[in-house]
Amino acid sequence: MAYLLAIDQGTTSSRAMLFRDDLSVAAKAQQEYTQHFPASGWVEHEPEDIWTSTLATCRAAMREGDVTASGIAAIGISNQRETVVVWDRQTGQAIHRAIVWQDRRTADVCARLQAEGSETLITARTGLIADPYFSATKIAWILDHVSGARERAERGDLLFGTVDCYLLWRLTGGAVHATDATNASRTLLFNIHTGAWDDDLLKLLRVPRAMLPEVRDCASDFGVTHPDLFGGPIAIRGIAGDQQAATIGQACFAPGMMKSTYGTGCFAVLNTGETAVASNNKLLTTIAYQLNGKRTYALEGSIFVAGSAVQWLRDSLHLIKTAHDSDNLAPTADETQSVYLVPAFVGLGAPYWNPRVRGALFGLTRNTGPAELAQAALESVCYQTHDLWQAMRADWPDLISKDTTLRVDGGMAISDWTMQRLADILKATVDRPVIPETTALGAAYLAGHAAGVCPSPEAFAANWQLDRRFTPTMDDALRTKKLRGWSQAVKGLLASDMDT
């Protein structure tokens, strides 16, 4: 039996999963690592923590599965996207902490780009907007704030990579500096129509070309691991950003298919096939995957805070001990209260794209307690998904209909209460798969496909398995009331930014 090892490097933890050649799960390991918040709206990781936790979980999964390097056909990597690492080409040492996708420190730079009219060029070439969420302004910030970094980058002494690229470089002992098209498409530097780094954008955003990795297909030859790491070399054959990997893991290969992943943030992706649909509703046009040199596009809506709202209840407010406690609390909330959490802890993502606002609670009463706050946190994810759902329907009404089913995955998708409430708020069917770790599954499939272990996308899609289907049961009047209250809360938050 041939095995596939999937690396799922996330925002708050690193995970490794070992899959059998039929894509059933053989073993898995997970390890959290430290988040750093040096200033309001700033989020950083130690690159060495990313590396050591990834290495440790890979070794742990191999031990649990009793598999050696020779038994693994290939490794696939999925990763938190947009997060920036800059390191020395010779020593491999990062010159600064990784700046995380959630980080908002370059909001002023992005505002200036918008004021200058540069966002039109950025959107036309990349499908994205001028927002600190993406990589390019983070790269420039590091080069401008680390002494001598810009000069070293111009000389070719420094390398840039999103987390997949950084891990690949470390895994191969510095032999391969490459990424895939999905991760490249999230940098603000990659032309999604030509499939190449864009010189105009490099000049505009002040990023030296010498830093950039080679861009390859999602299923490709990415080299082999250094033999000392796992007791022998292992081929690396797949890379995709986490949301694109989840789209593949959910077998959303046909135009009109849609998935939403609920992890630290929430990301809804709609397959648009060969058409790069330009959004009129502040969604992103992105590359869903690239296989055999052919790009498939998607519309994406990005929510910055989903599961991290539950972490906030646990780690900051100490209202719960485990994330699962929120599932038990939410159903006991007083339904006569209308409490709304707008979790803009690092600004609001799609479809608002406001990096300046911060989170707020609305509708608090003297009787508001842990149950009401837990329900508000879980419902906030459902409301934000509804905002994306409506925007996608407006952008592509022919493919988003009342009969469209949303496939869900990620840690929050395990919560039956939250998924039922999501179906109620969307007034749509929500399907949860048997394997909830679809990001890792997608990475494993890409690696297996390139290694000749896994079947065609069509055959893979035919084997997608449903765990549970959630259908809407909420009264229309109550649903309308809840959505009206959410809309008023968001408007109130946005108005507070206008007043500052």
Whether 1 shows a pLDDT value over 80: the answer reads no
133 a known binding residue? yes
Please tell me whether 12 is known to bind a ligand.
Answer: yes
What's the pLDDT at 407?
94
Residue 79's nearest CA partner among 439, 350, 437, 414 is 439
Average pLDDT over residues 156-178: 97
Average pLDDT, integer, range 385-390: 91
Query: What confidence category does residue 398 fall into, taking pLDDT thresholds of 50, 70 and 90?
Result: low
Residue pair 441/20 in contact by the 8 Å Cβ criterion: no
| Mean pLDDT value across the chain | 92
Calculate ∠ Cα 267-120-305, nearest 5°.
Answer: 20
Taken in order of first residue, the domains within the chain and their CATH numbers are 3-243 (3.30.420.40)
The confidence score (pLDDT) of residue 357 equals: 86
242 is in an annotated binding site: yes
pLDDT higher than 90, residue 235: yes
Q: Report which secondary-structure segment, H or E, holds 88.
A: strand 85-88
pLDDT at 399 over 70: no
Confidence of residue 395 (pLDDT cuts 50, 70, 90): confident
Is 81 annotated as a binding-site member? yes
Q: State the average pLDDT over residues 72-93.
A: 95
pLDDT tens digits, 89-123: 999 999 999 999 889 899 999 999 999 999 999 99
Mean pLDDT of the region 416-442: 92
* pLDDT in the model for residue 348: 86
Is residue 403's pLDDT more than 80? no
Residue 402: pLDDT above 80? no
Residue ranges of alpha helices (H) inside 280-410 are 307-315, 324-329, 370-395
pLDDT by residue (tens digit) across 126-148?
Answer: 999 999 989 999 999 999 999 99
Q: Is 311 annotated as a binding residue?
A: yes
Over residues 325-345, mean pLDDT: 90
Asked if residue 13 belongs to a known ligand binding site, the reply is yes
Q: Which amino acid is at 386?
A: H
pLDDT tens, position by position, 291-301: 999 999 999 99
The CA distance from 224 to 173, in Å, is: 9
DSSP string, 301-319: EEES-SHHHHHHHHHTS--
Residue 11 annotated in ligand binding? yes
**In the predicted model, is pLDDT for residue 324 greater than 90?**
no
Residue 302: its pLDDT value, please?
A: 85
Q: Whole-angstrom Cα distance, residue 346 to residue 358? A: 6
Q: How confident is the model at residue 400 (pLDDT cuts 50, 70, 90)?
A: low
Distance set, CA 244 to CA 34, 203, 227 (Å): 25, 28, 29
pLDDT at 499 over 60: no
Q: Which residue has the higher pLDDT, 160 or 411?
A: 160
Are the beta carbons of 442 and 399 closer than 8 angstroms? no
Q: Is the pLDDT of residue 282 over 90?
A: no
- The answer to whether 243 is annotated as binding is yes
Residue 130 CA, chain-centre distance (Å), reads 18
- Residues forming a β-bridge with 341: 361
d(C-alpha 306, C-alpha 113), whole Å: 28
Least confident of 25-34, 171-180, 251-260, 472-481: 251-260
264 among the known binding-site residues? yes
pLDDT of residue 320: 84
DSSP letter at 209 equals G
307 marked as part of a ligand binding site: yes
Per-residue pLDDT at 397: 75
The reported pLDDT for the residue numbered 99 is 97
Which tens digits make up the pLDDT trace of 51-66? 999 999 999 999 999 9
Confidence band for 405, pLDDT divided at 50, 70 and 90: confident
Read off the pLDDT band of 498 (50, 70, 90).
low
